[in-house]
Structure 1
Amino acid sequence: MSSPSLPEAASLPSLPPAAHIAILNTLFEPSQHLHDLAGPLFTQQPFSSYQDLIDAVKGRLAALAGSATQPGNNDDARVLYDILGSHPRLGASRSASHLSESSRREQANLASPDDGDNEADQLRKLNAEYEEKFPGLRYVVFVNGRGRDVIMQNMRERIQRGDLKLEIQETIQAMCDIANDRASKAL
């Protein structure tokens, strides 16, 4: 199956809100909170490229992260974690209904945890360990053709590091790296 197509970036301000949502869902994983956070960007400024749009979304996410990590900002934290948690777990079953077609393609080389092999079981355990270390977050990384062994090493390092603020920053960066890759494939 081919990647979805995207309209020219210069046309974004003139498109209806439903098209903006579809574009966000193509670049990122579907999230109502992301739609609410990033939707206004489409009409607030023109974009000469999708990278410019993704950078603007990254700025909004970084600002939300700055607010969400301050004591007493539970609503911002809930919104941020919903957006960051919209990505599926790495190695999730390819038949899982919550996997977008883009995620299925991107994770193809990680194989499904229900294939029964030892690495798949380790990946499933690492996902659980990660989510225990960082409640409310999901491990997100730009796979970019890397194998399970490399990804699992990165997961272990991030779990051992245990730095929530840095983890949020890396997750936002990974989401934007994935979005840039999706945009390049869809144009």
Structure 2
Amino acid sequence: MSSLPLFSTVLASSSDPGSPLAQALVILFEPSTTLYTHLLPQLAQHLPSANVAAYNDLIDASLHVISLWDDVLKAEFIAGHPRIGEMQNLSHLSSKEQAAVATPPEVLVRLKYLNAYYEYRYPGLRYITFVNGRSRAMIKEEMEDVLGLPHSLDAREEARDMSTVMVGGKEWRAELERAVQEVGRIAQSRLSTLGA
């Protein structure tokens, strides 16, 4: 099981990818190139002037840094999280979060379709949600609602409106910001899971 480094070492660490700060960010937010190339160095620079006394504060400081990014960086950052229903290459915590209940194969097939449709509708984004112990079947229904699709276990249940949302437009940006906030909620939940 993943464990967070001692908090005092996180505050005193550098932006080195092997530092305690990097280790903590990977556990809380999932590893990604953007985490290492942007969040880690910017957060390391921001920490001395921030009021960070606990891991909750570290998450808030991280979200503040992320809020200053352009849309492309934010989208790259959320893409570090696995797709709903993915079964391979998951971190220990992602695997635990997504697999609270055994998932029927037809739900996994439907989720694969929903992920593809979501990514077509919102180019450059990935569907992110705070699972919070919900089954993949429940998340499937949430995704169908977001996409305006009927609840179905038929992977071929096609969307009537296969239009895409304009990248950078109001709807696209609202979905991007929602996803960033969900990443923050996931990180806060991980703190509880880890007893931090």
Does TM-score exceed 0.5, indicating one fold? Answer: yes
Q: CA deviation at 1:152?
A: 1.5
Residue 63 (structure 2) pairs with residue 58 (structure 1): yes
Residues of 2 paired with 1:62 and 1:160: CA distance?
28
Of all paired residues, the percent bearing the same amino acid is: 30
Shift of 1:52: 1.1
User: Structure 1 CA distance, aligned partners of 2:100 and 2:190?
Assistant: 17
Deviations along 1:131-177, one digit per CA (max 9) or x if unpaired, are 11111211111101112232122212323496211111111011111
Q: Distance in 1 between matches of 2:55 and 2:147?
A: 32
How far apart in 2 are the matches of 1:6 and 1:128? 36
User: Contact between 2:130 and 2:185, CA under 8 Å: does it hold in 1?
Assistant: yes
In 2, the alpha carbon distance for the partners of 1:54 and 1:180 equals 7
- In structure 2, runs of 5+ residues without a counterpart are 150-164, 166-170
Q: Encode CA deviations 1:18-66: one digit per residue, 9 max, x unaligned.
A: 22111110101102212333323234335111111111111222221xx
Residue pairs, 1:18-167, within 5 angstroms: 18-39=19-40, 40-42=42-44, 43-44=47-48, 45-64=50-69, 67-68=70-71, 77=72, 79-93=73-87, 96-97=88-89, 99-109=90-100, 111=102, 117-160=105-148, 163-167=171-175
Q: Which has the higher contact order (CA 8 A, sep 6+)?
A: 1
Give the alignment's TM-score, normalised by structure 2. Answer: 0.76
For the aligned residue pairs, the C-alpha RMSD in angstroms reads 2.2
CA distance in 2: counterparts of 1:102 and 1:88, whole angstroms: 11
Query: What is the match of residue 179 of structure 2?
Result: 171
Secondary structure in structure 2 of the residue aligned to 1:109? coil
Whichever of the two has the greater Rg, that structure is: 2
Deviation track 1:117-143 (CA, whole Å, cap 9, x = no partner) reads 322211111111111111121111110
The answer as to 2:188 corresponding to 1:180 is yes
C-alpha change, 1:159 and 1:147, in structure 2 (3 Å) is same
* CA distance in 1: counterparts of 2:190 and 2:140, whole angstroms: 23
- Separation in 2, partners of 1:35, 1:123: 29
SS at structure 1 position matched to 2:27 = helix
Q: How many aligned positions are there?
A: 168
Structure whose residues are more often helix by fraction:
1
Cα distance, 1:110 vs structure 2: 5.8
Please give the alpha-carbon distance, in whole angstroms, between the structure 2 residues aligned to 1:159 and 1:90: 15
